[in-house]
Homo-oligomer: A and B are copies of this chain.
Amino acid sequence: MSSPRKVSDSTVRRLSFYLRILKEIRGRGVQTVSSAKLAESTRVTSAQVRKDLSAFGNFGVRGRGYDVAELQDHILRILGLDRTWRTIVVGAGRLGSALTSSEDFSRQRFSIVSLFDNDAAKIGRRVGDAEVRPIEDLERFVQAEDIQIGIITTPAKYAQEAADRLARAGIRGILNFAPTRLEVADPVRLRNVNLAVELEGLTFAIADVAGDSA
């Protein structure tokens, strides 16, 4: 891989959106696409599209645009989506179960192979093909089953312990949904999703509208 290290989070996010457009237009049998078309579908400028893509190599032919299949495969590789990621969920509550049964995840080649919980009442339950296992088995399972990603959906107070267990077991990346700040050491990569923050982005926009009309 030759991905440059300094790529902003927004760029990576846009690559994910380009990928969705490419998949959709490839499904319709379209073979080439312009940066203008990609821009239109993702609400950025075509200059931004060209800049994002040129950061990862020189594809696209001036005046002809990008080869859809080639560009899709390339972005899949950049995002690490050219392989299946073996994933576990820690916290077998409603959110953990929702993610485990997400069709969108499995389409993107995230295979959630098991859930872990500290609640004896949940152990042994199945969510789709995945079984809920006791939290004490996590380290052994991660190593035996070659798990690369852990998703934390525990209550905030259990999240650091979950992260510590995942790190000790040798996991490579953690996606944290618990509303708390976690500490993890290199080389483990941590990404946080805070659903209340997403709602706050919306209320900011609405409150602003209200102000305009007042």
Contact = CB atoms under 8 A, between A and B. Distances in A.
15 contacts: A1-B207, A7-B204, A13-B197, A77-B207, A78-B204, A79-B204, A80-B210, A95-B95, A105-B199, A110-B199, A148-B206, A149-B203, A172-B206, A173-B203, A193-B193
A129 interface: no
B99 A97 contact: no
B191 A205 contact: yes
Interface string A1-43: 1110101011011011100000000000000000000000000
Interface size class of A (residues with CB under 8 A): 35 or more
The prevalent SS among residues of A at the interface is: helix
Contacts of A104: 156, 179, 194-196
Contacts of A187: 209
Contacts of A194: 16, 104
Contacts of A195: 99, 102, 104-105, 193
Interface string A39-58: 00000000000000000000
